[in-house]
């Protein structure tokens, strides 16, 4: 049973304002965010308390930060990859290998399908979840939405090796490799005011602080 991946007393970082806003708009029944919580985006805080909600997801109270925080709005800088940087590099920088892309696709299928089987939190893409989803697909067939996209769980031993420890470990290890290999050669579009990562590689409006650097017509 999921008890939450962050222990009481652990140091966590709240995700960015754009990601909090996304959760509020598209999944309000799960995340229950209030307007004052947005002021704490990207803030580091210690876990004061944790519990499970009605869906079995871990939720937290944080020291100095009001409200209830769903586990998906938090991450650990010490143990996990920055989800915003990972997403940006995935979409715009072409620095992932073929095997890494296949492993990520495999884990995203597991992440979605294992939830239907009762897995939550850190367990949702771990070895047990991967085995359970594969068994379910063998028993009932690959879901139609995956068949339409011609996607399925990978059988490639190299891909499965990359995915073996779950999504969080895969993201951390892969991002560490990319940063070590490319370093300063990585070009990430950041806001010139707050240094937040923009939504796209060509964006000139920051969703973190609202600053715009579009050319001004004279």
pLDDT in tens, 129-166: 999 999 999 999 999 999 998 899 999 999 999 999 99
Closest CA to 10 of 59, 58, 41, 45: 45
Q: Is 111 helix (H, G, I), strand (E, B) or coil?
A: helix
pLDDT in tens, 85-102: 999 999 999 999 999 999
Q: How many CA atoms lie within 13 A of 36 on its CB side?
A: 5
pLDDT of residue 218: 63
Burial profile 108-138: b = 16 or more Cβ within 10 angstroms, e = fewer: ebbbebbbeeebbbbbbbbeebbebbbebbe
| pLDDT surpasses 90 at 47 | yes
Angle subtended by helix axes 98-116 and 167-182, to nearest 10: 160
Q: Rounded mean pLDDT of the chain?
A: 92
pLDDT in tens, 184-213: 899 999 999 999 999 899 999 998 999 999
Dihedral of CA 88/192/207/10: which sign? positive
Using 50, 70 and 90 to split pLDDT, how confident is the model at 30? confident
pLDDT of residue 215: 84
Rounded mean pLDDT, 23-52: 91
Model pTM score:
0.83
pLDDT of residue 2: 59
Q: What percent of the chain has pLDDT over 70?
A: 98
**Cβ neighbours, 10 Å, residue 86:** 19
**Cβ neighbours, 10 Å, residue 202:** 8
Alpha carbons 75 and 149: distance in angstroms, whole number? 30
Alpha carbons 59 and 2: distance in angstroms, whole number? 11
For residue 212, the cross-strand partners are: 205
| pLDDT surpasses 80 at 3 | no
| pLDDT surpasses 80 at 1 | no
pLDDT of residue 120: 87
Alpha carbons 110 and 210: distance in angstroms, whole number? 35
């Amino acid at each position: 049973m999921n008890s939450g991946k962050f222990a009481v007393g652990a140091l966590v970082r709240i995700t960015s304002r754009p990601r909090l806003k996304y959760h509020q708009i598209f999944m309000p029944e799960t995340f229950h965010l209030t307007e004052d919580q947005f002021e704490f985006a990207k803030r580091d805080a210690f876990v004061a308390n944790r519990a499970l909600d009605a869906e079995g997801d871990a939720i937290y109270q944080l020291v100095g930060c009001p409200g209830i925080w769903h586990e998906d709005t938090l991450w650990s800088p010490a143990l996990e990859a920055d989800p915003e940087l990972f997403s940006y590099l995935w979409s715009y920088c072409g620095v992932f290998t073929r095997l890494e892309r296949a492993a990520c696709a495999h884990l995203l299928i597991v992440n979605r399908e294992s939830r239907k089987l009762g897995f939550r939190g850190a367990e949702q893409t771990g070895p047990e979840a991967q085995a359970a989803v594969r068994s379910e697909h063998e028993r009932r067939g690959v879901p139609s939405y995956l068949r339409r996209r011609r996607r399925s769980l990978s059988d490639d031993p190299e891909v499965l090796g990359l995915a073996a420890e779950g999504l969080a470990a895969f993201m951390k290890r892969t991002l560490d490799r990319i940063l070590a290999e490319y370093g300063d050669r990585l070009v990430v579009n950041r806001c010139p005011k707050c240094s937040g990562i923009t939504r796209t590689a060509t964006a000139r409006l920051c969703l973190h602080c609202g600053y715009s650097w579009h050319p001004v017509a004279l």
